[in-house]
Structure 1
Amino acid sequence: MSQRKQHAPEFKAKVALEALKGEETAAELASRFGVHPTMIHQWKRALLEGASGVFERGGRKKPEIDEEQVKELHAKIGELAVANSFLERKLKALGREVRRGMIEPDHPDLSIGQQCKLLSIARSSFYYTPKGETEQNLGLMRRIDEQFLETPFFGVRQMTWHLRNDGHLVNEKRIRRLMRLMGLMPIYQKPNTSRPAKGHKTYPYLLRGLRVDRPNQVWCSDITYLPMRRGFLYLVAIMNWHTRKVLAWRISNTLEADFCVEALNEAIHKFGPPEIMNTDQGSQFTSFAWTDRLRRSGVKISMDGKGRFLDNIFIERLWRTLKYECVYLHAWETGSETRAAIRKWMTFYNHQRPHSALGGKPPALVYWQRNDINQPGQQVQRVA
């Protein structure tokens, strides 16, 4: 049997004072403070009944809550309201799954309801376990991914028509949801593509007309979808623009910014920061965690124009090569199998696979030949 939670007198007074204001209903206050509405009624009544003692016997009885205490409590409540408003705005920039993972069920002071309120998520979402996509939807996602590599200009309508012509009974609503889940956007110019998250800053494209003639002058990054037998994962890679070498990569089961920043940290730690980093305008690359890491390292931030996949063409070609030479040849069961296969292929790509743009040499060899700063075995670690 669980022990009944004890509330401090200061907490009860604060809740009762808020109830006295009459600005929120008992249900709203109960949700806000994580207590039962009955308690709010009891504490409010106790405050009203106890307040009469302030005026008994000419005020000779020492009040339990005097005017200065009330003013101080109101000031603290105002400060808390401002702090909570600031915190909510910052937290909303994070994905729901990230905020959900921040909840501590065994927190000594905050209940799950209070933590959900502070993190701006519904309490029911904390207990909800996603069912995942059906086998039919996973098959459709695999077909969409394969076709998108061939025709990256296919939007929702064209992709729906294509799948219908192949005998799949689908509608545009379903294909739109699956393409969004996969992070796919057609390449034609149109408004509101590759939108960053609300409140995130975007940056101009810095590579137009720029001659890229040395390693670590420009890096680029992107995310792609990896189909599996019973689900899907996402892969992010950091590539050296000049030599096409993949500097770092990470796999994740959600489209948050964390795994992108991990790959970026690894690349900077091993090779030092580049002069320019180019990405699309996706929410992972406009997030504070990503852009702040680049700014602290003195890196100029460049972002593709809306709907312009050619602005980051080299890493788009990497995805095409990876999927036809590795991903589509397997049906991985687990994330560990996927990581092992991707690691093996990335090693092959960097050190053995001849690259047509490099005169038939592998990217890693060209990187070290043209890099005047770092050489194998003599890497200079530059810490931001």
Structure 2
Amino acid sequence: MSERRACRLVGIHRASQRYASSPRLDDGELKRRIRELAFERRRFGYRRIYRLLRREGFEVNHKRVYRLYREAGLIVRKRRRRKSLFIEREPLVLPACANQTWSMDFVMDALSSGRRIKCLTIVDDYTKECLDIPVAMGMSGDEVIKALEAVAAFRGYPEAVRTDQGPEFTGKALDQWAYMHGVKLKLIQAGKPTQNAYIESFNGKFRDECLNEHWFRDLHHAREIISAWRLDYNENRPHSALGYLTPSEFAATFRTQGNEHNQADVTKDRLD
């Protein structure tokens, strides 16, 4: 009797009759390799690990990989998205005088060794002066306050400070500092850098003319170069928004005009 007729009489498929079992891969060996791949690539889920196993020649299906992956406790935890504060949109208005509004932001760069550095840029929105650029490997809210206090020691406190919703700016430290000194904190909406356009414009110049033009050997070297560039920006670089005066020249003109107005008011009061 032919195989075809025999299978039809018995009621089985010919492929089932011809099936030959293959030796099953040991779960212990497979689980060990899954754990090795999961620790090498910590953000890979079981689907990517399954693909890597298939590339290595493991004859295994995704359901078995998933079972062993779960048994080993290797499920990738989803990173919780940080909730941003609800901020009502506020139009960006040019301040009427110095120290009315400061803007702050972080700019990231790297040393020649590859280590990351953070630069905190602080700018007066009216005079366009760069008030300070502290540089560090990392910077907390307390260190942001130290930088602001150093500027306020010779310049006075601003009426308001505009920032994004970074953790260094939304923590208790900066909020308490602002409350103690009567400074209003203006937070921009999440993902809306154009609402802090003055500091974003400055950051573009800072990166193009300083960070991209120098190779920093270490943190001390980076601080020296950035400090020298900041002084040159304030004192020698003409600013188109200021009628091509430097920020220092514009600030000096503003102070002179302010003193003249004050003197005129005093004279008028005496005459009255």
CA distance in 1, matches of 2:201, 2:148: 20
Q: Are the structure 2 counterparts of residues 220 and 373 from structure 1 closer, same or farther at C-alpha, using a change threshold of 3 Å?
A: farther
CA distance in 1, matches of 2:232, 2:88: 31
CA distance in 2, matches of 1:264, 1:373: 27
Map Cα deviations across residues 281-319 of structure 1 (whole Å, 9 max, x no partner).
110001111121111110111100111001111111212
Q: Are the structure 2 counterparts of residues 259 and 249 from structure 1 closer, same or farther at C-alpha, using a change threshold of 3 Å?
A: farther
CA distance in 2, matches of 1:318, 1:266: 21
Superposed CA RMSD: 2.3
Partner of 2:186: 302
| Number of residue pairs aligned between Structure 1 and Structure 2 | 178
Q: Compare 206-215 and 316-325 and name the one that shifted more.
A: 206-215
1:328 positional shift: 1.3
Is 2:135 the counterpart of 1:227? no
Q: Are the structure 2 counterparts of residues 316 and 353 from structure 1 closer, same or farther at C-alpha, using a change threshold of 3 Å?
A: same
CA distance in 2, matches of 1:207, 1:369: 29
Map Cα deviations across residues 258-292 of structure 1 (whole Å, 9 max, x no partner).
33112111121111111111100110001111121
Partner of 1:249: 133
CA distance in 2, matches of 1:305, 1:258: 23
Partner of 1:238: 122
1:204 positional shift: 4.0
TM-score by length of 1: 0.43
Q: Are the structure 2 counterparts of residues 205 and 244 from structure 1 closer, same or farther at C-alpha, using a change threshold of 3 Å?
A: farther
Q: Are the structure 2 counterparts of residues 372 and 206 from structure 1 closer, same or farther at C-alpha, using a change threshold of 3 Å?
A: farther
- Which ranges of structure 2 fall in alignment gaps of 5 or more residues? 1-80, 260-272
Is 2:190 the counterpart of 1:318? no
Which of the residues 334, 355, 375 maps onto 2:239? Answer: 355
CA distance in 1, matches of 2:249, 2:148: 21
Q: What letter matches 1:294 in structure 2?
A: A
Map Cα deviations across residues 2-34 of structure 1 (whole Å, 9 max, x no partner).
xxxxxxxxxxxxxxxxxxxxxxxxxxxxxxxxx
CA distance in 1, matches of 2:117, 2:181: 29
CA distance in 1, matches of 2:180, 2:135: 25
Partner of 1:364: 248
Kept in 1, the 8 Å contact 2:141–2:168? The answer is yes
Q: Are the structure 2 counterparts of residues 365 and 203 from structure 1 closer, same or farther at C-alpha, using a change threshold of 3 Å?
A: farther
1:371 positional shift: 3.7
Kept in 1, the 8 Å contact 2:92–2:195? The answer is no
Partner of 2:175: 291
1:368 positional shift: 2.6
Higher relative contact order (CA 8 A, sep 6+): 2
Q: Are the structure 2 counterparts of residues 350 and 374 from structure 1 closer, same or farther at C-alpha, using a change threshold of 3 Å?
A: farther
Q: Which has the larger radius of gyration?
A: 2
- Which ranges of structure 1 fall in alignment gaps of 5 or more residues? 1-191, 197-201, 376-384
TM-score by length of 2: 0.60
